[in-house]
Amino acid sequence: MDNFEGKVAVITGAGSGFGREFARLGAKLGMRLVLADVQQDALDETFAEVSAAGAQGIARRVDVAKGEEIDALARATLDAYGGVHLVFNNAGVGGSGGLVWESTERDWQWLLGVNLWGVIHGVRVFTPLMLDAAKRDAGYRGHIVNTASMAGMLNPPMMGPYNVSKHAVVSLTESLYQDLSLVTQQVACSVLCPYFVPTGIAKAYRNRPSELTNDAPPTLSQRVSRALSEKAVSSGKVSAQEIAGRVFDAIREEQFYIFSHPHVLGAVKTRAEDIVMPRNPTDPFAERPEVRVQIIEALKG
């Protein structure tokens, strides 16, 4: 896909971070936008901004963990524009870190509900619409971008539920790529694997549903993990705006893997070598042992 003018883009998590930047760039490219987010005020801000820039669009408050709300988003898209060309399954949350056995059932439900089921619902609902459009129009081109993470390629400590959710998104998207190749050349897909980029994900607990909130306070390891995550995300040097530009370039080129920090692929290679040799997982702090010492001391309280 190399012409975005007049095309329809559905963006989940549009209220902040990558989602807002996808919307801003889509507006500049003359796209018609369908914006979705669970946080109404943030969604309203994005919608007001792109509308002021002249973009045509609609906005809907959506909890991506609920399949019926993604179904309703698809109906709203068809009612407004009759079809869809780009789908950004982008909504995601962080948090619920700490030692993996300390994550509660509610922690797992929240993380997997948004990060994994949100993408599953997006693929399940929108892919058939795109395939139908392709059958009806030989000139149709569609593209799906699923937001994962470098945590979908690696397994950093004290991020268990997040790692699991993002590995699953990578697997889902690779499966989608292979399945699409069997039935069409008109619909493509990509997986976005960002490293530490300053977005609002480190504070995503602000939108955690009350029914999935823990009764007990966070454990020591969870507090340590949250502090480390907020520091790492806020210190990122690559902006969400830059990543949005790379994503649209990848769509033009039908590039599947999209990485924000290619230098981290060295660690991915090491993990792959661990698997095929085989050997035990490499220490992620091998080059910075003082970090491991600091974390161990912090976990002692």
First to last CA, the chain: 53
Cβ neighbour number for residue 175 with a 10 Å cutoff: 12
| Active-site residue (options: 162, 177, 195, 257) | 162
| Residue 21 contacts residue 34 (beta carbons within 8 Å) | no
CB 143 within 8 A of CB 251: yes
- Give the separation between CA 222 and CA 299, rounded to whole angstroms: 10
Strand partners, 135: none
Instruction: Choose among 99, 165, 148, 151: nearest CA to 284.
Output: 151
Q: Which amino acid is at 298?
A: A
Beta strand pairing status for 142-147 and 86-89? Answer: parallel
Beta strands in the chain (DSSP E): 8-12, 32-37, 56-61, 86-89, 142-147, 187-193, 257-259
| CA-to-CA dists, residue 50 to 26, 45, 55, 143, 206, angstroms | 9, 9, 5, 21, 24
- Residue 125 in contact with residue 71, Cβ under 8 Å? yes
Q: Are strands 86-89 and 257-259 parallel, antiparallel or unpaired?
A: unpaired
On whether the CB atoms of residues 82 and 52 are closer than 8 A, the answer is no
Is 205 a known active-site residue? no
Partnered with residue 60 across adjacent β-strands are: 36
The set of catalytic residues is 162
